[in-house]
Amino acid sequence: MMTARDFRLAAWEDKKGQWGTLALICFIYCIIFAAIASLNSLNSFSNNIFIILLSAVASIATLVLSGPFVLGQHMAALDVSRRQKVTVSMVFEGFTAFGDSLALFLLNNIFTFLWSLLLIVPGIIKAYAYSMGFFVLADRPDLSANECRKRSMYLMKGHKWQLFCLDFSFIGWYLLSLLTLGILSFWVVPYHMTARAEFYQELLKDEEQRANKAQ
């Protein structure tokens, strides 16, 4: 298995010539959810029934849109990791699998929450077990949301610590993002996502090698 440094270097190479596009995609996501969040926060400052209803709609919109947008991010990262050209229109690419992406988002969060009721650590472990689900859905749209979740669990068996180390290796970048008032995050988040896409592809190679040995 490659190291966290190897995944970061591979992602850095993948993103050459596409930094601007990926940053713009991330910026659009942030603008959309920031606008929805601002509508949701209006309820704190008014007792007007219209404002309360608008806030409720914003809350529902956040839930409904999260799945497709998260899938879109994973699709873009996976394309970049495979040296394919991405475009800004990929912001909405996840809506091509709207139902499955929403179902997968809900399933991941519900099961992670239920495991977290036991203790924080089991919740974190399960979050990592489900972490490849959206890459699986991007790669295998023929699978249902639950099948994607289960396949993620299968792929991540024995690899959760490696992914945790990869995620932790980005802490310096996120601290730098704070110093730039979050501006740098428009580049750091796609960089991190592409490194995770490289991790996913390494899991596929590992699966193939295990299958070949079993034959």
Per-residue pLDDT tens for 120-132?
888 999 999 999 9
Q: Summarize the confidence of residues 32-43 as an average pLDDT.
A: 74
Cβ partners under 8 Å of residue 91, min gap 6: 25, 28, 29, 69, 72
Q: What is the pTM of this model?
A: 0.91
Could you give the CA distance from residue 104 to residue 139 in angstroms, rounded to a whole number? Answer: 14
Q: What single-letter DSSP state applies at residue 93?
A: G
SS3 169: coil
What integer pLDDT is reported at residue 210 of this predicted model?
Answer: 81
pLDDT given at position 59:
78
Q: Which amino acid, 26?
A: C
Q: How far apart are CA 54 and CA 44, in angstroms?
A: 12
Which structural domain range is residue 35 located in? 4-214
pLDDT in tens, 70-93: 999 999 999 999 999 999 989 899
Report the pLDDT value the prediction gives residue 42, as an integer from 0 to 100. 59
Token pair 């991405």 is found at 86
C-alpha 112/C-alpha 100 separation (Å) is 18
At 122-167, the pLDDT tens digits run 899 999 999 999 999 999 999 999 999 999 999 999 999 999 999 9
Helix axes 185-214, 145-156, angle to 10 degrees: 80
Residue 193, C-beta contacts closer than 8 angstroms, at least 6 positions apart: 73, 74, 76, 77
Confirm if 100 and 146 have CB atoms less than 8 A apart. Answer: no
Give the DSSP H/E element, type plus range, for residue 33: helix 19-41
The chain-wide mean pLDDT, for the chain, equals: 90
Residue 51's pLDDT is: 64
Work out how many domains the chain is built from and give that number: 1
Q: Tokens at residue 155, please?
A: 């792929």
**CA distances (Å), 149 to each of 130, 135, 142, 171, in order?**
6, 10, 13, 27
Question: Would you call 74 exposed, middle or buried from its count of C-beta atoms within 10 A (0-12, 13-18, 19+)?
Answer: buried
